[in-house]
Structure 1
Amino acid sequence: MLKQTKRLTLVEQVAEQIEDLITSGIWAVGSRVPPEPELMEQLQVSRNTLREAIRALTHAGLLKTRQGDGTYVCSSSALGPVLKKRIMRSKMLETLEVRQALEQEAVKLAALRRDEEDLVKITHCLEQCKLAINTQDPQTYAQWDIEFHQAVVSASHNDLLIELYDYISESLQHIVVELFEKADFKKYYFTHEQLLKAITERDSDKAVEIAHLFIQESQQHLTSDNTTGTGGQLHESIKQPDQTRG
């Protein structure tokens, strides 16, 4: 049996309006929320009502209050904080599997939808990965490897997929560093290079095949207790990227 719908309280209405400003991007992540008097005037509500709405959004993880400094936007949607908390309770391999499941669909869409701007971003990230391998810098490699995959997912032009992937990827930098210490990342680089080639050529089947390959490689290194690898030490460096490219 259907139940009678409940009318939103004034606090809930104010919180909903503020959340709309955040999710629409009008209030960007990192930006400072307007002062209380300004918001009270715009919303035509009391200080207590406004503070209750701000408190609710702070609890949801969208806002953060800094003592003596004001209130700031810290997430673009309530989904982000919830996912982050859940990821913290997940095993490393589980998180990686979810990320990679999203990625397989993303590379297929990227091959079909990418534009020239997308290719420039992906190529730049891959070149930075190459430099990090040659200088044996796992932290920098982790940063650019994640940005490479985010650029690929962005090329899917599916906003929900991009948002989900970004939230999960934020928690994975330490995993990439751990993989760097176990594996020969020269091999990973060439797999990523093949993925870029498939996306450039709009070969979605090939892109999915390659994504599945580096997913298997990552899982093998995480689940194997006997991985000898090279400890991140490459016996030869990769050819430096052409500095004239963007």
Structure 2
Amino acid sequence: MKVVYHDIFRLVYDYDPAAAKGRIDCIIDELHGAYEFIEPDPAQEADLLLVHQPGHIEYVKGNGTLYQVALFAAGGAIKAAELAYRGEPAFALVRPPGHHAGRNSCWGFCWFNNIAIAIEKLRRRGAVNKVLIVDIDLHFGDGTDNIYEDAPEVSYYHLYGIDGLRQCLSVYTDCDLVAVSAGFDMHMKDWGFILRTEDYKTIGKLIAGHARRFCGGKFFAVLEGGYNHQVLGKSVKALLEGFDAGR
């Protein structure tokens, strides 16, 4: 499991909880030394246009610092997807998050839809076609869902408990790639009061096992939410340990 990361993600680029000081650091503290870190390039505007309308991109450009960080976030997701396509599962440790960003809209601390941009980069060049997106964030990824509402080849599933995930995976066996919107705000000590840290390991094992069985081990994850710095890093590490164990 490789971790895609750039130091630009340490910048406090906004006033929202996703941009808070120390949020990325608490994850690095848990992962450093246990995983190989790989640096991404920023996404190009042509990459953003695979998903977003030109007017939306111009709107985000109005905040120069945020725009630069967001380009690297999309680029990090692209790098993780490309590694996954080569059979090297990867986790994009990026921010801002993206699953609330639609083609011409954004809210919920999201600006560009990182995971959709990465998926479309692969799909447009014919590397993959059928993709399963599993969103484990507390909040429904309305941006991702709307982007793919007219694309039957891409299926979006939002987590409704571990039993629900098992049921989802039993149905979606025909896929070339699994992409995970990895939010951690469903934790018992975060906004959701639902999952324990060890549940993320179980989730990781289920997803990785599914990907290795049905799509040649091609899967990647991109950081979305998660705001309690005391448990966020541990939850991320648990998910990655699950990914590694799901064989």
Q: Give the TM interval when normalised to the shorter protein.
A: under 0.3
TM-score (norm 2): 0.25
TM-score (norm 1): 0.25
- Higher normalized strand content (fraction of residues): 2
Higher relative contact order (CA 8 A, sep 6+): 2
| Greater C-alpha radius of gyration | 1
- Higher normalized helix content (fraction of residues): 1
